[in-house]
Structure 1
Amino acid sequence: MEQTSAAVRDLTDSEQNEAVLTLASRLLTDGTATDGNGPAVAAEAAAAARSRARLAAAATPVHLTVVFAMYGETGRMVPRSEHPHGEDFVRAKVRQLDWLTAGLPGVTWNILACDDGCPDEPSSADVMAGIIAAEGYDDVAVIRLADLIGGKFPISPAFDALTSTNQSRKGGSILAALATAVRDGAPEGVRHVVLYTDADLSSNLAQVGSLAAPILDGAAGALGQRYGMDGAVLVKPDGPSVEPHSTGDKPDKLIVLFRHFVRATLIPDLARVLDTQAGFKAFDAEALAPVLGEMSSFNETFDVELLIHLAQRYGAGALAVEPIVFTEDFAATNFPSVDPGARHLAMVQQVVDLYDSYVAAVAPATGEAAEVLGFVRGLDLDAYVRLIEALRAEDAGDPTLFDRRWTVANLRSLVG
C-alpha cells in the first residue's frame, strides 16, 4: 500500500482512517494523545473521543439517522486500490458509527443515501446497493431522487413541482432523504436525531455525538462549524489549522468575511452561525418535520433557508453551534476561484434573495441594515471586484475575522 506522510490527512488511506478510531479509543481509556500518525489524525481522534464521551454522558435512548446525497460518487465509494480517489466511504461511515455507538445502551443508528440523478454507469445508487448487499448491512439504504419527484413523495410545494433531477442541485436529495428519515421514524420512546453530511469522509461520523448532545439537551438543531470558533479544526493539505489561521490565512478571506457581514446584517437570527455551508448538521426529528414542508431552495441556499425556517419557528437560540474537525477533500471536487468574480457575487446576491423571500416580511431591515441592503442591491460585478480588492488592500495587519463590520459610507468610498 502507498504510504502517506504523517503530516497529511489522506482520506483514501484506510489504515489512517482506522488509526483515528484506534487513537480515540486509547484517549478514552488511558489518555494516550498521540500515536505517530501526525497532528491531523490526533485532532480528529480527539474530536471523536469527545463526541463519544458526550453521547455516553447524555444517557438518553436515541436513534441517529445519517443522510447524504450522491452525484458522481462512484469513484470515492470504492477503495483506493480500485480508484485513485477511492475512500471506501460507505464501509468507513459504518465503521465510524459502529465505533461511536458500541456498548452505549439504547443508542442505535442507520444511514440513508439519496442518489441525485448520478450519470455514472453504474450509478452511485447501483454501486452503493452492491456494497450494501455484499456486506449484509441491515441499517444502510439508498433511495433515488428520480423515484420521489413529480408528486410521488409529497414534501413541499416546491419539491413536489420538481420534474427532473437536474432541478435539484443536491438540496432536493438532502430534503428527500431528511423527509424519508423523519417519516420512517425511530423506535417508540426513543429520541430521533437526523443528521446530514457529505458523501465523502471530510467529517468523521464518530463526531455525531457532539451534535446529538445539545439536541438531547433541548436544542432543535446543532450545526458543525469548521472554522470561526474555539475547538474547530480545518485540516488543509499541509495539516490542521485553527483560528486565526483557518480563515485568516485563506486567500479568499475578504470574500468570506464580506459575505458573512451581509448575511449577519440581513439575517440576524443566523449571525452566530459563521459556517452556514458546513455539511455536518443535526436536528431533532420532531422539530424538523414541520420545517421540511416550507423548503423551496435546492441549490447552494438550501442550508441557509433551512436554518432561517428553524430559527423563525423555534428562536435563534434553538440552534447550537459546535466545533468540528473537517478535512478539506480536494480530490474530485471543484472549488471556485479565490479571486473575486461572478460566482462570489452570486453568493452575496443569494443572501439578498433569501432575505427578500423569508425575512423581509417578518423582520424588515431598518437603519444601517437597510443601507447595507441598498448598497448590496446596487453592486454589479465590476463594483464587487473593486470592493474586494480594496478591502484586501486595507486589510494588512487587521486580525479581526467574523466580527468585522463596515459602514456603508466606508464601502461606498472603496467602490469609488
Structure 2
Amino acid sequence: MQPTRDLTDPEQNEAVLRSASALLADAGAAVPVAVDAEARAVADSRRRLAALTGPVHLTVVWAMYGETGRMATRAQHPHGEDFVRVKVRQLDWLTAGLPEVTWSILAVDDGCPDRPSSAEAMAAIAAAEGYPTEGHRAVSVLRLADVLEAGPSISPAFDTLTSTDQSRKGGSILAGLAVAVAAGADVVCYTDADLSANLAMLGSLVAPVVAGEGVVAALGQRYGMAGAVLAKADGPSVEPHSTGDKPDKLIVLFRHVVRAMLVPDLAHVLDTQAGFKAFDAAALRPVLSRVTAFHETFDVELLILLAQAFGPASLVVEPIVFTEDLAATNFPSVDPGARHLAMVEQVVQLYDRLVAPVAPATGEAADLLDLLRGLDLDGYVRLVEGLRAEDPGDPTLFDRRWPVARLRELAAPPR
C-alpha cells in the first residue's frame, strides 16, 4: 500500500475526508497509510467537536510569505497545494451539521515579495469562490504593512515596528490573533499556510479549550507523545522514530533541554513551535499586549506568558498528524548553524526577561545558563556534533538530560 502523503494531490486531500466520514459511519475503505492516519485523527476531531454544547466561533490565522506557489493548484505550480480552497473544504467538513460551531479565516501577508503578492493572490481566490467577507465562513486577508502603518495597536513592542522586515512570521501571527480576538472569536487558532496540518483536526484542539476546566490553550504536537504521527517522505512515523530518526535530532533535543531547564513551566510541551495551536480568546486578549518577540520563538514567549498568568496546567498538549512539507521551506538546514544557535539564545533572552525575575535558575540549570551565555557559534557546532557522536545506542529522547560538565567539554575548542 502506498505509504506517502502528497499535499499537492487533490484526490488525496479529499480522500482524507472521505475516509474520515467512512470511519465515523463504521465503513472504512482502503486508502494510503498516511491518508489513513490523517483520516483517523480527523474523525476523532469531528467526534470531539460534535460533543460540545453551546455556540463557539473559531477563527483560523496563518502568515504568508512567498506562498503564491503553494496557493496555486498542482496544475499551475509544481508545489501547488491549492491550500485556500482545501482549508475551506476541511473546515466545512469539520463543522457540517453543527449549527452552533462557526468559523472564519484570517490570513496575514508578512510583506510577501511575490508579484502578485500572497495577499493579492488569496484575495483573488476568495473573490472567485464567493467566500463571505464577514460572519460564518468568512475568508479575509490582512497585510502586516497596513497594520504597522495604520493600526490597530497590538502591543507597545509591536507598535514600535516600522517594517515587515523587523517582524518575521511572529509579527503577522500576533497581528492576526489580535484582530481575531477583537472581532469576537471565542477560540483563535494559528497554523501554517501549507496543508501540513489538516484543519479538520481542529476539533481536537477546540474541545479542551471550550470544555476543559481551566484550559486556555491546546497545543498540537507533531512528535514526542503517543498518538502523534509525523508523515515523512517515506511514510508516517511515530515515536521513537519520529524524533529518533530525524537528522537534526540532537539539535531538537538540546533545544528542548534548554527550554525545560530554564523555563520549567513549559517542560511538558515538547513541540513548542508546531504551527497548530488553539487559544481561548478571552485569556489571550490581555497576554497579547505583553508580547515583545517577533522572531522564531515568538510562540515560546506567548506560552510562557500564558503559563505564568494561568498556570502550566492551563496549557494542554494534543497529538496531531503532521505532514512534513519541505518544498519552498524557509527553515534552517539540519546541520547546526547560526539560526539554530539564535533560537537557543532567544530562549535565554526570554528566561532573562520573564523567568529570572520570578524563578531564577539554580543548581544544574544555573550552570547550563552560564554555559549558554558564553557559547559562540563554533562552540555550539562542536557541542551538537559531539552529542551526535555519542548518540548511537542511546534510546532516550525528550527525557534525556546531559551533565553540564559534559556539555562544556564538548563545546570547548580542541587543545
TM-score range, shorter chain: over 0.9
Query: 1:66-113 deviations in whole A, cap 9, x for unaligned?
Result: 011111111111111111111111100000000000011311111111
Q: Residue in 1 aligned with 2:262?
A: 266
State the AA in 1 paired with 2:24. L
Question: How far did residue 151 of structure 1 move?
Answer: 5.7
Aligned Cα RMSD in Å?
1.3
| 1:246-285 correspondence runs (5 A) | 246-285=242-281
CA distance in 2, matches of 1:152, 1:383: 42
Q: Residue in 2 aligned with 1:322?
A: 318
Question: How far did residue 39 of structure 1 move?
Answer: 0.8
Please give the TM-score of this superposition, normalised by the length of structure 2: 0.95
The answer on 1:224 being equivalent to 2:223 is no
Question: How far did residue 368 of structure 1 move?
Answer: 1.5
CA distance in 2, matches of 1:361, 1:242: 38
Query: 1:102-130 deviations in whole A, cap 9, x for unaligned?
Result: 01131111111111111111111111111
Alignment partner for residue 80 of structure 2, among 65, 69, 86?
86
The answer on 1:310 being equivalent to 2:309 is no
Maintained 8 Å contact 1:149/1:160: yes
Alignment partner for residue 95 of structure 1, among 89, 97, 122?
89
1:148 partner SS = helix
CA distance in 2, matches of 1:243, 1:179: 35
Maintained 8 Å contact 1:76/1:85: yes
The answer on 1:167 being equivalent to 2:163 is no
Maintained 8 Å contact 1:150/1:162: no
Q: Residue in 2 aligned with 1:181?
A: 180
Q: Residue in 2 aligned with 1:189?
A: none
Question: How far did residue 392 of structure 1 move?
Answer: 1.6
1:398 partner SS = coil
1:194 partner SS = strand
Question: How far did residue 383 of structure 1 move?
Answer: 2.0
1:243 partner SS = coil
List gaps (5 residues or longer) in structure 1: 187-191
| 1:233-248 correspondence runs (5 A) | 233-248=229-244
- Shifted more, 129-138 versus 56-65: the winner is 56-65
Q: Residue in 2 aligned with 1:154?
A: 153
List gaps (5 residues or longer) in structure 2: 133-137
Q: Residue in 2 aligned with 1:395?
A: 391
How many residues matched? Answer: 405
CA distance in 1, matches of 2:311, 2:246: 32
| 1:64-143 correspondence runs (5 A) | 64-138=58-132, 139-143=138-142
2:60 partner SS = strand
CA distance in 1, matches of 2:355, 2:38: 37
CA distance in 2, matches of 1:143, 1:414: 46
Query: 1:19-70 deviations in whole A, cap 9, x for unaligned?
Result: 00000000000152x42x3110000000000000011112332111101111
2:21 partner SS = helix
Maintained 8 Å contact 1:150/1:160: no
- Shifted more, 308-317 versus 150-159: the winner is 150-159
The answer on 1:200 being equivalent to 2:194 is yes
Query: 1:209-247 deviations in whole A, cap 9, x for unaligned?
Result: 000011012310000000000000000011100000000
CA distance in 2, matches of 1:324, 1:226: 6
Alignment partner for residue 414 of structure 1, among 401, 410, 414?
410
CA distance in 1, matches of 2:408, 2:109: 45
Maintained 8 Å contact 1:151/1:160: no
